[in-house]
């Protein structure tokens, strides 16, 4: 199954970014991809001077113009799309960082609100965002059963393990990985580790430019990096083989060999 991974530098304009996104969807479909994955914060770039109220005023609901336009493009091009947007919340000066999955008929079939906000290394997403309260169930797609994560979630192995144990064959993690000391090394190591320890693919489209490091990745279930987009803006393609997940989990049965009967005996 052919997957399209998009890496680009989002501008501060929703309209400009939306035009780019729909163009990438069309290009992905023209190359016979069945699945198209975009990075976190694709809706627009939020700089440090933008207040929480300003961000909230630009956010939308899942039925707003931004997601609706992407769903229309998915339907027109008969392709599945994973992306993200700033979703309105009931708290007037906070938004959700929300990922969505759209099927080839243009229907939103799953959403996930980021539960681990990036309050680390000098950043504090909780100043502008509201965290989600649940992990979304894995969902069937053209490339296999996917589990959704977003960026900083990758640093928490409990989440990826929960998704894998629930049936995920592929972890998809739209990201905007901030530049910094050792950050690219962390990014590559964490993505490879999540793939190896769960015997699954990891698809991690990343923002590039602004404050972000790029290096969008696809890693196979045995830890081989199939794609590293470095600092390139644009679209790349990777073939995903669901049988590779089953084969890897058979020869390296990490999920099966867990001792969940013993782990709870350790008390803090």
Active site residues: 40, 114, 151
Give the position of tokens 């490879």: 192
Q: What is the 3-state secondary structure (H, E, C) of the chain?
A: CEEEEEECCCCCCHHHHHHHHHHHHHHHHHCCCCEEECCCCCCCCCCCCCCHHHHHHHCECCCCHHHHHHHHHHHHHCCEEEEEEEEECCCCCCEEEEEEEECCCCCEEEEEECCCCCCCCCCCHHHCECCCCCCCCCEEECCEEEEECCHHHHHCHHHHHHHHHCCCCEEECCECCECCCCHHHHHHHHHHHHHHHHCCEEEECECEECCEECCCEEECCCCCEEEECCCCCEEEEEECCHHHHHHHHHHCCCCCCCCCCCHHHCCC
At 255, give phi and psi (nearest 5°).
Answer: -65, -40
Residues 6 or more apart whose CB falls under 8 angstroms from that of 63 comprise none
Strands 212-213 and 208-209: antiparallel
Determine the Cα–Cα distance for residues 178 and 151; give it in Å rounded to an integer.
10
């Amino acid at each position: 199954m052919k997957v399209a991974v998009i890496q680009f530098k989002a501008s501060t304009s929703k309209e400009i970014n939306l035009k780019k996104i729909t163009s990438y969807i069309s290009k992905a479909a023209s190359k016979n991809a069945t699945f198209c994955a975009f990075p976190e914060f694709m809706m627009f770039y939020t700089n440090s001077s933008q207040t929480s109220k300003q961000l909230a005023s630009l956010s939308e609901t899942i039925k707003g113009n931004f997601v609706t336009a992407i769903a229309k493009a998915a339907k027109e091009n008969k392709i599945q799309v994973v992306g993200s947007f700033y979703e309105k919340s009931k708290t007037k000066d906070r938004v959700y960082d929300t990922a969505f999955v759209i099927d080839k008929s243009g229907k939103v079939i799953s959403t996930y609100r980021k539960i681990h906000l990036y309050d680390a290394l000098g950043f504090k997403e909780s100043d502008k965002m509201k965290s989600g309260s649940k992990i979304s169930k894995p969902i069937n797609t053209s490339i296999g059963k996917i589990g959704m994560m977003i960026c900083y979630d990758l640093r928490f192995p409990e989440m990826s393990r929960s998704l894998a144990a629930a049936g995920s064959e592929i972890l998809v993690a739209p990201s905007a990985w901030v530049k910094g000391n050792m950050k690219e090394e962390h990014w590559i190591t964490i993505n490879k580790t999540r793939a190896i320890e769960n015997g699954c693919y990891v698809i991690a489209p990343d923002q590039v430019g602004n404050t972000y490091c790029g290096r969008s990745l696809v890693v196979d279930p045995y830890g081989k990096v199939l794609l590293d987009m470095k600092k390139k803006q644009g679209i790349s393609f990777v073939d995903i083989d669901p049988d590779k997940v089953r084969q890897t989990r058979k020869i390296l049965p990490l999920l099966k060999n867990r001792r969940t009967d013993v782990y709870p005996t350790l008390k803090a």
